[in-house]
Amino acid sequence: QKEVEQNSGPLSVPEGAIASLNCTYSDRGSQSFFWYRQYSGKSPELIMSIYSNGDKEDGRFTAQLNKASQYVSLLIRDSQPSDSATYLCAPSTDKLIFGTGTRLQVFP
Amino acid sequence: GAGVSQTPSNKVTEKGKYVELRCDPISGHTALYWYRQSLGQGPEFLIYFQGTGAADDSGLPNDRFFAVRPEGSVSTLKIQRTERGDSAVYLCASSPLSLAHNEQFFGPGTRLTVL
């Protein structure tokens, strides 16, 4: 089993819809969880961090963490074409372990 | 303030040559990380430093790869006898001292091409 699993996509959603991105991880010792957004040809950009079970909202983004199920998700409300990018889930103990990322396409 | 900077932005070299990649972290960040990213993959951890010492170098693929951070700020990733398979984007990230909540901020990367 890979340490971090994400559906590589592409996930295609229409503008204005909710995009749901999911991630499972294998290391029960992970304490921190991050979502990074990576535009093509650019470096990863931190968009959300979550450390405790439950939901964390920041603008149009909501991160959800379930440590018992080893599952973390990212919801993007009112998706915009500018949200089109690859989203990387990264659990962390000391170093970040990335999945392959999910490519999101938001079409007008 | 300034973010993480990396130089050069692009490096083309020939198989068998030696290369050095430089990373200048965010001022005050004590932790510094190197990752490598191949096309279609997420970044792959190589090594990280707390201060001047390498806290974890378990991701270095073999002994051709080496990294230093002599003064606890700038770091250099060194690759000897480069191979075509070393071609990738090398990313550097830094983080303030916090093992529990180590939000990492990435530089723009160095694209290495080995011919």
Find the CB nearest B109 among A4, A43, A90.
Answer: A43
CB contact under 8 A, A95 and B109: no
Contact residues, chain B to chain A, C-beta under 8 Å: 33, 35, 40-45, 48, 55-56, 59, 89, 91, 93, 99-109
Find the CB nearest A51 among B40, B101, B106.
Answer: B101
CA dist A89 and A98 (Å) reads 6
What's A81's DSSP letter?
A: G
Q: What digits encode the pLDDT tens for the residues B4-17?
A: 999 999 999 999 99
Calculate mean pLDDT across residues B66-79: 96
Smallest CA-to-CA distance from B96 within B31, B1, B43 is with B31
Q: What digits encode the pLDDT tens for the residues B51-68?
A: 899 989 999 999 999 999
Residue A19 C-alpha from the chain's centroid = 10
Choice between A62 and B103, residue whose per-residue pLDDT is larger: A62
Q: Report the pLDDT value the prediction gives residue A31, as an integer from 0 to 100.
A: 81
Cα distances from B107 to residues A9, A45, B15, B57, B67, in angstroms, run 26, 9, 26, 20, 17
Residue type for position B66 = F
CA dist B54 and A88 (Å) reads 25
Three-state SS across A63-98? EEEECCCCEEEEEECCCCHHHCEEEEEEEECCCECC
Find the CB nearest B103 among A46, A88, A101.
Answer: A46
Q: Report the pLDDT value the prediction gives residue B99, as an integer from 0 to 100.
A: 56
Give the HSE-up count for residue A11: Cα atoms under 13 Å, Cβ half-sphere: 23
Per DSSP, the three-state class of A33 is strand
| Chain A residues close to B98, C-beta within 8 Å | none
Q: What digits encode the pLDDT tens for the residues A4-61?
A: 999 888 999 999 999 999 999 998 888 889 999 999 999 999 999 999 999 999 999 9
